[in-house]
Amino acid sequence: MLIFKNPLSILKYFFVGCVLISSFQSCDDEPVDPVTIVDTDDDGVPDSTDNCPNDFNPNQEDSDNDGIGDACEDNPTLTPLYPCENGMAGPYSCNDYDLMGYIPLDELAEPGAEGNDSWGWTDPTTNKEYALVCSTQGTAFVDMTDPTAPILLGKLATANPGSSGNKWRDVKVYNDYAFIVSEASGHGMQIFDLTRLRNVANPPENFTADAHFTEFGSAHNIVINEISGYAYIVGSDMNSGGPLFINIQNPTSPINEGNFPGYSHDAQVVTYNGPDPDYAGQEILIGSNANEVVIANVTDKSNPVNISTVTYNNIGYVHQGWFTEDMKYFLLGDETDELGFGNDTRTIVFDFSDLDNPTLHMNYNGPTTAIDHNGYVKGNDYYQASYTAGVRIIDISGVSSSTMNETGYFDTYPENDNTSFRGAWNVYPYFPSGNIIISDINRGLFIVRKSGT
């Protein structure tokens, strides 16, 4: 029996001067035994010669020449663009994080653009890693499977190119689709099938969206709960900027199912499995709402319920926050307190053990006066994009005892650490490989990685 799991693999097997036919005859018509060729990972290389038979590795990359393909190596040997040595990675100050790769902003967008949000996608079929990088002009898609040689695959232009001024953009991912919103008037939500990135023949391409949702126009941000399949549009030109509930379970046919009152600048929405038994399994929204933090139960889209609100001293602008993985604590960034009150970079930590009665747990102040922007938790680390101070990595393993310590950083803005809106806008730390992407307003895409990993 002849088995080709990948039809393209057929082209790899033929005999010079004769044809391989279904009756398994040789060139002189003598019968031959059937041939079984197994290609488990569908990469066009038979298992018998594949250096990584269980993972997609069509080009048989083997960086350290040990006979094991890179796709099967837990830690393939990669040479950073600039290793972090003596506090510097090339022109960038650093602590324990190497610069693996970089694409400048003028390659990701046209001259005059500014960078902003970013997110990541790991292809569940090929395990390749992609960076989705936003600018004021559109969204760029980068294959960063080899972080030392990132490839710009293409760009998706803004849905409203005639809108003037700096129009920030935000992107999130659900079910192998990217969902993109912008503050540009009339932009709506672009929806892009990320599996198209597998087959880009001549990069960079000019992409078009697979769908365009226009029941709202401008929006500051988009939040997605990947468990429930809902997108939450915040800061839009509808509902006074309060969250819109968009069912994206069929990604190219979104459905608007309701909203929640009160302007929200950013949010996190989770299917709750934290310490408060009253809300187990419920869909909980934590809104960073400019002047307060709002906790709401949005399980019933037709009847969302406010659970509680919480504030703190010296509010500048309640900007963005993220749960610890046990959902006991919520780490919040205030975007303008450094400007308004002169404090160093401040992270406000709330105890959310009882969602009906949230309390202030502690404040953490970083080592610079830079403004913190977006922050995300992965394990015991908090990755904080802090504009001119780059990305700071903060150990939160001791947060229950009111202890947080900076353990590393990579500064994408070497000019200074001033209190200003330049430098690192966003960080995405969730790639399985350990690669981390940073989108910088002024310089573009940085790919960094913890030294020695």
Q: Each residue of 370-407: pLDDT tens digit?
A: 999 999 999 999 999 999 999 999 999 999 999 999 99
pLDDT, one tens digit per residue, over 228-263 is: 999 999 999 999 999 999 999 999 999 999 999 999
Res. 281 pLDDT band, cuts 50 70 90: very high
Element (H, E) at 104: strand 97-104
Model confidence at 355: pLDDT above 50: yes
Across 294-305, average pLDDT: 98
Across 209-219, average pLDDT: 97
Q: Give the single-character DSSP code of 25.
A: B
Count of alpha carbons within 13 angstroms of residue 323, beta-carbon side = 22
| pLDDT number for residue 41 | 79
- 3 state SS of 303: coil
- 3 state SS of 198: helix
- 3 state SS of 9: helix
Across 322-326, average pLDDT: 98
Judged on CB neighbours under 10 Å (0-12, 13-18, 19+), 302 is: exposed
Model confidence at 17: pLDDT above 60: no
Element (H, E) at 233: strand 230-234
| pLDDT number for residue 75 | 52
* Length, in residues, of the chain: 453
Q: By mean pLDDT, which of 72-81, 201-210, 331-340 is the weakest?
A: 72-81
Q: Residue 331 — left, alpha, or beta (φ > 0 → left; ψ -120 to 50 → alpha)?
A: beta
- Which residue's entry shows tokens 């992107």? 171
Model confidence at 23: pLDDT above 90: no
What is the CA angle 66-71-74, rounded to 5?
A: 75
Average pLDDT, the chain: 91
Distance in angstroms (rounded) separating the CA atoms of residues 359 and 350: 6
What is the CA angle 248-251-257, rounded to 5?
A: 25
Sheet containing 359-365: give its strands across: 318-323, 329-334, 346-351, 359-365
Res. 74 pLDDT band, cuts 50 70 90: low
Sheet containing 138-143: give its strands across: 115-122, 129-135, 138-143, 151-157, 205-207
Q: Give the single-character DSSP code of 399.
A: G
Distance in angstroms (rounded) separating the CA atoms of residues 37 and 296: 56
Q: Which two structure tokens, joined as six digits, stand for 384?
A: 């904080």
| pLDDT number for residue 7 | 44
Question: How much of the chain is in helix, strand and coil states, percent to nearest 5?
Answer: 5, 40, 55
Res. 11 pLDDT band, cuts 50 70 90: very low
Distance in angstroms (rounded) separating the CA atoms of residues 234 and 198: 31
- 3 state SS of 315: coil
Residue 421 φ/ψ, nearest 5 degrees: -95, 70
Res. 26 pLDDT band, cuts 50 70 90: very low
Please choose, from the candidates 407, 406, 410, 405, the residue with its C-alpha nearest in 3D space to the C-alpha of residue 436.
Answer: 410
Distance in angstroms (rounded) separating the CA atoms of residues 215 and 199: 31
CB 371 within 8 A of CB 339: yes
CA distances to 85, 102, 104, 106 from 151, rounded to whole Å, are 26, 10, 12, 14
| pLDDT number for residue 55 | 76
Q: Which two structure tokens, joined as six digits, stand for 118?
A: 């970013």
CB 103 within 8 A of CB 121: no
| pLDDT number for residue 165 | 56
Q: Which two structure tokens, joined as six digits, stand for 124?
A: 């569940």
Distance in angstroms (rounded) separating the CA atoms of residues 417 and 63: 37
| pLDDT number for residue 348 | 98
Res. 44 pLDDT band, cuts 50 70 90: confident
Model confidence at 27: pLDDT above 60: no
Sorted by sequence, the CB contacts under 8 Å of residue 210 that are 6+ apart come out as 177, 191, 192, 193, 252
Q: Give the single-character DSSP code of 343.
A: P
- 3 state SS of 128: coil
| pLDDT number for residue 164 | 57
163 versus 284: which is more confidently predicted?
Answer: 284
pLDDT, one tens digit per residue, over 110-125 is: 988 999 999 999 999 9
Model confidence at 21: pLDDT above 50: no
Widest CA span of the chain, in angstroms? 89
Reported in sequence order, the residue ranges of 129-229 that DSSP labels E, i.e. its strands, are 129-135, 138-143, 151-157, 169-174, 177-182, 189-193, 205-207, 211-213, 221-225
